Amino acid sequence: MAVRKFKPTTPGQRHKIIGTFEEITASVPEKSLVCGKRSTGGRNNTGKMTVRYIGGGHKQKFRFIDFRREKDGVPAVVKTIEYDPNRSARIALLFYADGEKRYIIAPNGLKVGATVMSGAEAAPEVGNALPLQNIPVGTVIHNIELRPGQGALLVRSAGNFAQLTSREGRYCVIKLPSGETRQILSACKATVGSVGNSDHALESSGKAGRSRWMGRRPHNRGVVMNPHDHPMGGGEGRQSGGHPRSRKGLYAKGLKTRAPKKQSNKYIIERCNK
């Protein structure tokens, strides 16, 4: 995956940096694995705006992604690598030996024609999903479950990866992309390799109009609002707003929001540095 920079022939092209899409092999999704996606525009069922800065955007279809990988022992061939507007990563269409088709998150290095498999008997190779207890220590992984059979919840966005560092009884110790180290049950599944499209973080829309195509409306700062609109609003001239806050007055940076008595705290060995 690489990125393209453009000659500054227009103001919008000057700062535009986008992916090359060179790994994508199909322009139309598999019809049996998509459904219509309704856009809310940030409104609830009564029409009241509950989420700001959302609206418009190109029409999208939702792709059903297999995060469970429960077809153990059935080999599948990678048919296409496709774009998904609902996530930063690319997706891969699998044709299973029994005729079923499914989408998965495309890991880095997965090519069309490759064979992948899930289950305890699968080899620890890129794209294969197997329980953590069967993955060698030190392996780079993604799509990690928190409960067996629940489906992957962790490490799913473009370029991310975690590392299996050690084992402690029934648990495996995983180092997450945030820097946090935590224990996860050894029976939980994970996929070998890192998530593809690693250059996604280098992309830049280049102009406001491209953000509107993606359904993002202009995002104005709290400092420029009036006092009744935001805790940081008001003041004569360019007054700074003090400590960054949310619209409801909660600190936006530095305030710990995790519940101190949360049950899963006991599984966290080392907090992230952020």
Distance CA 239, CA 256 (A): 27
Query: Where in the chain is CATH 2.40.50.140?
Result: 3-201
Q: Give, as one character, the DSSP assignment of residue 10.
A: S
The CA distances from residue 252 to 3, 58, 209, in Å, are 32, 31, 28
Ranges of the chain whose pLDDT falls below 50: none
| Average pLDDT taken over every residue of the chain | 94
The architecture CATH gives domain 226-274 = Irregular (4.10)
pLDDT confidence of residue 1 = 63
pTM of the model: 0.90
User: Would you state the pLDDT for residue 274?
Assistant: 52
Looking at domain 3-201, its CATH superfamily turns out to be Nucleic acid-binding proteins (2.40.50.140)
Question: Distance between the two ends of the chain, CA-based, in angstroms?
Answer: 28
Domain with CATH 4.10.950.10 in the chain: 226-274
pLDDT tens digits for range 210-263: 999 999 999 999 999 999 999 999 999 888 888 999 888 999 888 888 899 999
